[in-house]
Amino acid sequence: MRLFRQMQLCRQVHGLTRGQWRRIICICLVTVVLPLKAGQDRKIDTVFQYSAINALLAGVYDGDLTLESLAEHGNTGIGTINGIDGEMIVLDGVFYSIKSDGLAYKLAPGEKTPFAVVAFLNAEVESVLKETSSVDVLTKHLDTLIDAHNAIQVIRIDGSFTQLTLRSEPKQTRPYRPLAELMAEEQVKFELNDVKGTMIGFRMPDYMTGLNVPGYHFHFITDDRKRGGHVLNLQMISGQVTLDTQRGFNMVLPNIPLFNEAMLGSDREKELESVEQN
């Protein structure tokens, strides 16, 4: 009311008619207030990441974030669960872990993760993939579809595969070893032949070393949601690619002694390469 009285006073002081005054209010609304509101509403597609890859490499295999909380930030993603109990894949809002027996287990909302990346996938680029003989051929092809190499790409590929080489790892107990040691000693590889399924992954810019895996990182699950794993190699007959460039990055760090006391500053690029590609 006070504002209204002040506006009335202002109109009288300047000797404006009601029509002139209304026009001024309209111009103010269109040029100042509405653009401000639109700016507030502008949605930035944001990838959500919990913890840093260097923490996982250092053996921080527990976290304090539940999958229920993680689901608020995305319906598509990858990661693992506490104790590094398998390779996690999130698609259409459902969480699975592919454990060391190669089987996919649907995860409960109360499970916790030590490392995960999720996003809400919006189909920005859709492309059909023809016969693809390896993961290298696939990623080279994806590179040609991506303009924004310094932004984050969320990737989904639904396809028919003649062969997939996948891996997982058994659940760990404390004290945890560094990830490269664990993988060298206990990684379990599986081969799948003639299956249909979905790959979910990200392409992270090179400058994100230490935070995430630079380049491509894919997890896979079969159409019947029974098998899968971290993708090491593949042969594909055909596939449908969905790409989504995201420019927001929201990173949340664990608050547990294991994370708080870990030494995370060292260069772990070589360890990461041995973990991701072997």
**For binding to Zn ion (CB under 5 A), which residues are involved?**
230
Q: How far is the CB of 192 from Zn ion (least distance, A)?
A: 16
Q: How far is the CB of 37 from Zn ion (least distance, A)?
A: 42
Please report, to the nearest 10 degrees, the dihedral formed by the alpha carbons of residues 195, 198, 199, 200 taken in order.
-160
Q: Measured at CB, which residue is nearest to Zn ion?
A: 230
Q: How far is the CB of 193 from Zn ion (least distance, A)?
A: 21
Please report, to the nearest 10 degrees, the dihedral formed by the alpha carbons of residues 105, 204, 266, 255 taken in order.
-50
* Residues 58-90: b if buried by 16+ CB within 10 A, e if exposed: bbbbbbbbebeebbebbebbbbbbbbbbbbbbb
**Closer residue to Zn ion in complex, CB, 115/259:** 115
Q: Are 215 and 139 in contact (CB under 8 A)?
A: yes
**Closer residue to Zn ion in complex, CB, 112/230:** 230
Place of tokens 């490392």: 115
Q: How far is the CB of 87 from Zn ion (least distance, A)?
A: 5
**Closer residue to Zn ion in complex, CB, 89/241:** 89
Q: How far is the CB of 219 from Zn ion (least distance, A)?
A: 6
**Closer residue to Zn ion in complex, CB, 230/268:** 230
Q: How far is the CB of 240 from Zn ion (least distance, A)?
A: 22
**Closer residue to Zn ion in complex, CB, 177/257:** 177
Q: Report which of 159, 147, 259, 172 is spatially closest to residue 201, judged by C-alpha positions.
A: 159
Q: Give the helix ranges, DSSP H, for the chain.
A: 2-13, 18-28, 34-41, 53-57, 67-70, 135-145, 179-186, 257-260, 269-277
**Closer residue to Zn ion in complex, CB, 7/114:** 114
Place of tokens 């009285």: 5
